[in-house]
Amino acid sequence: MSWDINPVRNNINGDLILGLCCLIFATLVLFVWIPLDVESGVIEKVRRRLEIGDSLAPSVAALFVFVGGFILITQKREASDQRVLLSGNYKYLSILITVLAISLILMRYAGPLTIALVNLTQNESLEYRLLRDTVAWKYIGFFLGGSLMVSGMISQIEGKLSWRSLSIAVLAVIAMILIFDVPFEDLLLPPNGDV
């Protein structure tokens, strides 16, 4: 009995196994768990108004897992391209966690801080809690935090900051606003539901 201790070959096999697991998991979520456990559809029409159904979030998440698994399976791998860099992995993970933390903090506090700044400079007495579902105000934190999150992750993967990554991030956040906020009257984008 021989053991294959080649980390490159094991990494390639690991990608294939992980990709297959992602495909199986996403398929089970989409076609077994959601239909059996969730009563409402992706989008519901209630009293002539569109509302998000309970199955929208798990369906979108499962689709992302499916796409990720598909990419892991289909991407071309060369043994010479694979490197095992444990210290690089820790550095990558620490930068990723920092980008996510700063983005979430910005997403949570950008709106209230903007209102506080307006109150300070304009001698107003506005409250963010009352404006959190008002166009422009409700997008401040989501737009800034989301743009930083997406552009930060793209920049980390590319190894450099670029206008391209910022443009992609801005377009992605605008697309999320158009998909998840504009059609629905009762939806509050994160973090406005908790403010």
* pLDDT tens digits along 172-189: 999 999 988 887 777 777
Do residues 44 and 136 both lie within one domain? no
What is the domain extent for residue 15? 1-84
98 or 127, which is more confident: 98
What pLDDT band is residue 195 in, cutting at 50, 70 and 90? low
Number of H helices, E strands in the chain: 7, 2
Tokens (6 digits) for 21? 């697991």
Domain boundary residue among 84, 104, 126?
Answer: 84
Contact between 191 and 141 (Cβ < 8 Å): yes
Domain count, the chain: 2
Q: Residue 110 corresponds to which amino acid? A: A
Give the pLDDT confidence score for residue 3 in this predicted structure: 43
83 or 102, which is more confident: 102
Task: Give dist(CA 157, CA 163) in Å, integer.
Answer: 14
Say yes or no to pLDDT of 128 above 60. yes
3-state helix, strand, coil in the chain (%, to 5): 70, 5, 25
Do residues 3 and 78 both lie within one domain? yes
112 or 77, which is more confident: 112
Do residues 11 and 99 both lie within one domain? no
Find the mean pLDDT for residues 75-86: 57
Domain boundary residue among 84, 116, 144?
Answer: 84
3 phi and psi angles, rounded to 5 deg: -105, 135
What pLDDT band is residue 4 in, cutting at 50, 70 and 90? very low
Give the pLDDT confidence score for residue 26 in this predicted structure: 94
Do residues 194 and 115 both lie within one domain? yes
Look up the pTM and report it. 0.64
